[in-house]
Amino acid sequence: METPFPRKLRLLRKLKRCTQNSLAKALNVSRTTVSAWENRIAEPDLATLKNIRDYLKVSY
């Protein structure tokens, strides 16, 4: 079973010792936006997904 994106995002962010605030600043979004992604309230667009991948230094 594949892990849902919100759970992966939170896990990777914590493994990289990155706060919601620091990720938000790096992506030029609000902390509440990052929280919404992690809580399945919203989803990032494809360009933002690429930026998340680059910032957290992960591959697909």
DSSP the chain: -PPPHHHHHHHHHHHTT--HHHHHHHHTS-HHHHHHHHTTS----HHHHHHHHHHHT---
Res. 59 pLDDT band, cuts 50 70 90: confident
5-56: which CATH topology?
434 Repressor (Amino-terminal Domain) (1.10.260)
Contact call for residues 40 and 6 (beta carbons, < 8 A)? yes
Cα separation, 40 vs 12, whole angstroms: 16
Inform me whether the pLDDT recorded for 56 exceeds 90.
yes
pLDDT class of 15 with cuts at 50, 70, 90? very high
Domain ranges of the chain: 5-56
pTM comes to: 0.90
pLDDT at 2 over 70: no
